[in-house]
Structure 1
Amino acid sequence: MIFPPNLKKGDTVAIVATARSFQPEDLQPAIDTLRGWGLHVVPGKTIGPEYHQLSGTDKARARDLQNMLDNPAIKAIWAARGGYGTVKIVDMLDFTRFRQKPKWIIGYSDVTVLHSHIHNLGIATLHATMPINVKKNSEETIQSLKKALFGEKLQYTIPSRVQNRTGIAEGKMVGGNLSILYSLLGSPSAIKTDGKILFIEDLDEYLYHIDRMMMNLKRNGYFDNIKALVVGGMTRMHDNSIPWGKDAIGIVKEIADKYNFPVCFDFPAGHLQDNRALVLGKEAKLTVARDSVTLEFEKAKK
């Protein structure tokens, strides 16, 4: 696995909108944060335009991201927000120069498309908060992003919960938004999970949708050889007038119970104010004990 260079003061970060539209006035908290770390900021041409729900036509969004991928002065690319739309441009992108000189791709939710696609190129990415959330994020969230970008060690310890399954696992972390992982199945962007720690999270789904997606991942062998399962926020779920009978945690647990790997629920990552950075593609150690859960990533090499 190839890791983009750690950022240092004076480096430049681009902010682009690969999916839904994002207005310049909403960018300031993220700009202030990056400048406070000694970084320069370049907003992409997709910040501002509106093309129905999207931040421009597919060609315009692809062109903006392509320019940032190819620009050697840009050391990291931060997706402004999620929504839907990144999958519509991923096959329009040329990663040739990016593979020669990788840079950090940052975001979550719909950005899972890029995480998964780029993971298959053998390059690590950063599952972390986005500019749309910065104003409301916890301090722990913001500091975890800074540590990840500057190559400091990431280690998180959280309380355990009764639904967890104890154990210790080591492996590269992969994953992201459950709905996106489900939608990528069968495509060149579908990730391979064998020997890895799988992370999933989701937002605003009906409970039976969660069950359907988990069943499809199961039938596709996503859980057969993983080292562990980390479940982040399952936020604002919905039920039907006739209840499904289980909440999101219960649905995931029902499938996970058929296996023997460690399982952690309620990890602070996903559509949450407390959304800790995860380095996808990096070796991590997960320790699920009765009282606490610890996730630690290898320290970045200088």
Structure 2
Amino acid sequence: MIIPKYIKKGDTIGVTATSSGIANELKQKRIISAKEALEDKGYNVMLTDNVFKTDWRGCSGDGKSRAEQFNGLIDNSNVSAIISAAGGDYLMEMLDYVDFEKLKKNPKWFQGFSDNTGLVYPIVTTCDIAAVYGCHFGDFGMKPWQKSNEYALGVLEGSTKKLESFKTFESERHEYITGYEGYYEDEKVKWINAENEEKIEITGRLLGGCLDVIVFLLGTRYDGTEQFIKKYKDDGIIWTLESFNMEDVVLITHLWQMKQRGYFKYAKGFVFGRPLMYNTWIEQPYKEAVMSILGDLDVPVIFEADIGHKGPQFSIIEGAKAKITSEGGKGVIEYA
């Protein structure tokens, strides 16, 4: 596994819109605030031309143009890390034009979540380069910064190797009023061990992202799962997953599909983030739906972890080795 060089003060962070562009005025203010905040930390920030552009679908451009913006940041020797401007839809349209071979020759960090799983997952499984499933660039624009911001920058710098679960999370999305809002403190964080274990401790290599997107990639040339899990079978795989908008039937079906393909045969355990939107017509809890497929694997499963759409979220270095501990409703991830 190639771990890109950690960033340091004086380096340039590239920001590009791999999915949606930022058209909302308050969100644009947030991007500008993020740029200023990271420049105050000693970094240079380069925004590609598409960050503030959007078409009728909400995309920052067609797939080819988005890939060209991304490839330009790969080409730029001054750029040490690339962070997505936002999530959205249709990132997969750019994949045919992304120069993955050039990225292999010049590995650098890519960070994003949600639809950006469409890049994170192939970078990890087909290029064998670690990538970060974590916040978008705009989150650095909140004032003041919260613990999650310090974690996110610290992970990219290599100075943060241990992340402890947050105290609270926001239970639903909120509209911005100033553009600088932090995460709302609506509910207490409580990690859940599926079988009510007093303590779960899992060590292995991380793999995952947003399930809604991973299933789009299954069986395509951007799905390197089989080669990845085979290469790292001695480490074992910790699946770090979350879903954006899946009802119980869809969730169960896609987990079954991945299981049938053999993707879980080297699993050491599973860590599920808080689902943003989950619907069920039979009042089937999320945990019950997941365990109907994974329950016979005889590996630990954790729910309600700090991963994904209900922030704050951890920066998950997909592809890296880590130890994850869940005890007493609290969780810790420690990178090797």
**Please, what TM-score do these two structures have when normalized by structure 2?**
0.82
- Aligned partner of 2:277: which letter? R
Residue equivalent to 1:39: 43
Contact 1:170 1:197 in 2 (8 A): yes
Instruction: Give 1:187 deviation, angstroms.
Output: 1.1
* Kept in 1: contact 2:307–2:314 (CA 8 A): yes
Counterpart residue type for residue 172 of structure 1 = R
**Aligned counterpart, 1:142:** 149
**Conserved 8 A contact 1:11-1:39:** yes
User: What CA distance in whole angstroms lies between the structure 2 residues aligned with 1:131 and 1:185?
Assistant: 27
Q: Deviations over 1:239-296 (max 9, x none)?
A: 3xxx233122221122221111121111111002211111111110123446643321
In the TM superposition, what are the counterparts of 1:1-302 in structure 2 within 5 Å? 1-23=1-23, 24-53=28-57, 54-119=59-124, 120-135=126-141, 139-158=146-165, 159-164=190-195, 166-190=199-223, 191-192=225-226, 193=229, 194=233, 195-239=236-280, 243-289=281-327, 292-298=330-336
* Letter of the structure 2 residue corresponding to residue 171 of structure 1: G
Query: 1:160 Cα shift?
Result: 4.2
Two-structure CA RMSD over aligned residues (Å): 2.0
Query: Is the Cα–Cα contact under 8 Å of residues 74 and 106 in structure 2 kept in the other structure?
Result: no
Deviation at 1:172, TM superposition (A): 1.2
Code of the residue aligned with 2:161 in structure 1: it is L
Q: Retained in 2: the 8 A contact 1:163–1:265?
A: yes
Aligned residues: 295
Counterpart Cα distance in 2 of 1:131 and 1:291: 29
Q: Aligned partners of 2:164 and 2:54: how far apart in 1? A: 41
Per-residue CA deviations over 1:159-183 (Å, capped at 9, x if unaligned) read 5425355543221101000111111
Q: Give the SS at the match of 1:205.
A: strand
Deviation of 1:26 after TM superposition, in Å, equals 4.1
Q: Is the 8 A contact 2:33 2:142 kept in 1?
A: no
Q: Which amino acid aligns with 1:255?
A: I
Unaligned runs of 5+ in 1: none
Worse-matched range after superposition: 225-234 or 201-210: 201-210
Extract unaligned runs of 5+ from structure 2: 166-189
Report SS of the residue matched to 2:66: helix
Give the counterpart letter for 2:92 in structure 1. Answer: V
Out of 27-36 and 278-287, give the one that drifted further: 27-36
Would the aligned equivalents of 1:29 and 1:131 in 2 still touch at CA under 8 Å? no
| Contact in 2 for aligned 1:127/1:280 (Cα 8 Å) | yes
257 and 46 in structure 1: CA distance in 2 versus 1, 3 angstrom threshold: same
SS of 2:275's partner is strand
d(CA) in 1 for partners of 2:159, 2:114? 24
**Identical pairs, percent:** 24
Contact 1:78 1:105 in 2 (8 A): yes
Q: Which secondary structure state, in structure 2, belongs to the residue aligned with residue 214 of structure 1?
A: helix
Q: Which moved more, 1:14-23 or 1:133-142?
A: 133-142
One-letter amino acid matched to 2:88: G
